[in-house]
């Protein structure tokens, strides 16, 4: 198995990171939507912890992925250079930006509430924002907007992969076209 990316193929590390994050994000978006509006109850409090655990995992994985892609460059999107490729490149850049911004804003807003952010059931995240209602309310608001943006991009990303039928999907599944 090829761990590294090639000029036309995705290596195992990139594919593993891609699909792990895909699973996390597919869980995270509806989970976030739900915990923001579920009725308060003691037996569902753990869902906030789960959301934070998955979110910090996404943040760590996207940073690992960006670092890995510095070491092992990813291939360009398939197809000729043109508007479609530029759109794909733009969408990928926006996905990376949101995969950092959304968890980071959740972390900032949580920090601003003054309540510990506990992930993996025991790890207390450092506080990265002043204790302030403006920061927490504003942070959660932007967190939610950007998460909607992320959901739209993910939807477009999935639709494009399914509709292109040019080997894009199989390249991410098996490594090569």
Binding site for other proteins (CB under 8 A): 39-43, 45, 113-116, 131, 133
Tell me how many degrees the CA angle 25-126-111 measures, rounded to the nearest 5: 70
Between CA 11 and CA 172 the distance in angstroms is 9
The residues with which 118 forms a beta bridge, in sequence order, are 124
The CA distance from 81 to 84, in Å, is 8
Smaller CB distance to other proteins: residue 106 or 175? 106
Beta carbon of residue 60, minimum distance to other proteins (angstroms, whole number): 23
Q: For residues 1 and 41, which CB has a smaller minimum distance to other proteins in the complex?
A: 41
Compute CA 155 distance to the chain's CA centroid, rounded to the nearest angstrom.
13
- Please give the Cα distance from 9 to 172 (Å, whole number): 8
Please, what is the minimum distance in Å from the beta carbon of residue 121 to other proteins? Answer: 12
Taking the complex as a whole, the smallest distance from the CB of residue 44 to other proteins amounts, in Å, to: 9
Residue placing its CB nearer to other proteins in the complex, 40 or 83: 40
Shortest Å distance, C-beta 149 to other proteins: 25
Using the minimum distance from each CB to other proteins, give the nearer residue, 42 or 71.
Answer: 42
């Amino acid at each position: 198995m090829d761990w590294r990316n090639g000029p036309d193929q995705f290596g195992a590390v990139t594919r593993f990171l891609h699909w792990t994050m895909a699973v996390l994000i597919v869980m995270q978006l509806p989970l976030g939507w739900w915990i923001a509006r579920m009725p308060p109850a003691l037996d569902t409090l753990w869902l906030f912890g789960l959301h934070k655990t998955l979110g910090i995992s996404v943040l760590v994985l996207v940073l690992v992925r960006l670092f890995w892609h510095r070491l092992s460059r990813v291939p360009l999107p398939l197809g000729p250079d043109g508007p479609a490729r530029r759109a794909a490149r733009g969408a990928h850049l926006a996905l990376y930006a949101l995969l950092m911004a959304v968890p980071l804003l959740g972390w900032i807003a949580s920090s601003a509430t003054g309540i510990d952010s506990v992930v993996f059931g025991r790890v207390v995240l450092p506080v990265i924002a002043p204790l302030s209602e403006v920061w927490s309310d504003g942070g959660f608001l932007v967190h939610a907007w950007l998460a909607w943006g992320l959901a739209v991009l993910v939807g477009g990303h999935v639709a494009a992969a399914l509709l292109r039928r040019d080997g894009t999907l199989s390249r991410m599944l098996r490594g090569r076209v």
